Amino acid sequence: MKKNEKWIVALDVSPMDSDILRYTRSLSEVLHPKEIVFVNVMEEDHSSAYISNELMDYQMVMAEEKRLVLRSKIDSVFGGQKVPYEVHLLEGDPFSEIADLAERRNSDLIIAGNKHQTSGSGVLSDRLSKILETNFLLVPEAFSAKFENVLVSSDFSEYSGLALYQAIQLRNELEDLNIHVFNSFEVPVEYSKDQDNYEVFKNIVESNTEKIMDQWLKDFEHTGVPVLTTSEDKTVTQQLLDAAVDKDTDLIIIGSRGRRGESKLYSESHTWSLVQQSSEIPIMIVKKSL
């Protein structure tokens, strides 16, 4: 299991960088990483052949000024911290540069923004989190970092276990952290329209799911409070988000196989819907060490 000791924080010289820096500092005070590498990648300008030298020089000066401001922001937030950190200002393709840096530094956690309002599309974060075999933490805009309630999404698989282990790692540092374990069970479709027997079958399925959950949690010394839901009218994603709001969740943790495959809870219909819809709660995607 990855221990989240070597972090990469992706910044893009946008207003959201301040949110990411504040959150990263708060998380580092809990998990105490061995190193943090802040990285900003300036895309190569392929239009230089079509603009004047004067305009190109002006663009380069403006870009450099933005990066100096970024470095100053990082130093102001982390300058007094004990954790060692570096600032890498690179040029090239952002995805390739960050992926190469993560491999060279053997990083086990990448932190980036989950954008909905500020400038920038957030496409890079989506692509990195889908493809890289590194734990990934998506931080929403203007989120005030606190760590009181964590919601772990579980289908009782090995990958859900990895997610719960990450929550336990947090709880080892925060004794008062509440861990909730979410599962959405399904009533067989042939009974969903049978109004006379639906509740009977729903209770049977729910009871069986409770037993499976209890057995699964034994491997974790019964860490976590089960949250079981079902709904014909809502997707699993919406049920998870509803549960997150109900439990005043500060972090959602979900397991993943990485690029070698997808678990039930890491599909286009669930995880990426969750990423797109969760504009207010950070999401950690946990990958298996290979």
Query: How far, CA to CA in Å, does 36 sit from each of 42, 87, 201, 288?
Result: 20, 9, 51, 21
Cα torsion angle, 242, 247, 252, 257, sign: negative
**Rounded Cα–Cα distance for residues 145 and 203 (Å):** 38
How many helices (H) and strands (E) would you count in the chain? 9, 10
Write the DSSP string, 131-169: H-SSEEEEEETT-----SEEEEE--SSHHHHHHHHHHHH
pLDDT of 60-89, one tens digit each? 677 778 778 888 889 999 988 788 999 888
Please count the other Cβ atoms lying within 10 Å of the Cβ belonging to residue 268: 9
Which conformational region is residue 6 in: left (phi greater than 0), alpha (psi within -120 to 50 degrees), or beta?
beta
Could you tell me what percentage of the chain is helix, strand and coil, using 3-state DSSP and rounding each to the nearest 5?
45, 20, 35
Average pLDDT, integer, range 104-129:
76
Asked whether the beta carbons of 206 and 230 are under 8 A apart, the reply is yes
pLDDT of 148-167, one tens digit each? 999 999 989 888 999 999 99
β-sheet with 109-114: strand ranges across: 85-91, 35-42, 6-10, 109-114, 135-140, 283-287, 251-256, 149-153, 178-184, 225-229
For the chain, give the longest Cα–Cα distance: 78
**Does the pLDDT value for residue 210 go beyond 90?**
yes
| Average pLDDT, rounded, for the chain | 83
**Rounded Cα–Cα distance for residues 150 and 45 (Å):** 42
Domains and CATH numbers, the chain: 1-145 (3.40.50.620), 146-290 (3.40.50.620)
CA nearest neighbour of 277 among 243, 235, 238: 238
Ramachandran angles phi, psi of 231, nearest 5°: -165, 135
More confident residue, 53 or 287: 287
Q: Please, which pLDDT band fits residue 260 given cuts at 50, 70 and 90?
A: very low
Average pLDDT, integer, range 266-287:
72
What is residue 264's predicted lDDT score, i.e. its pLDDT? 46
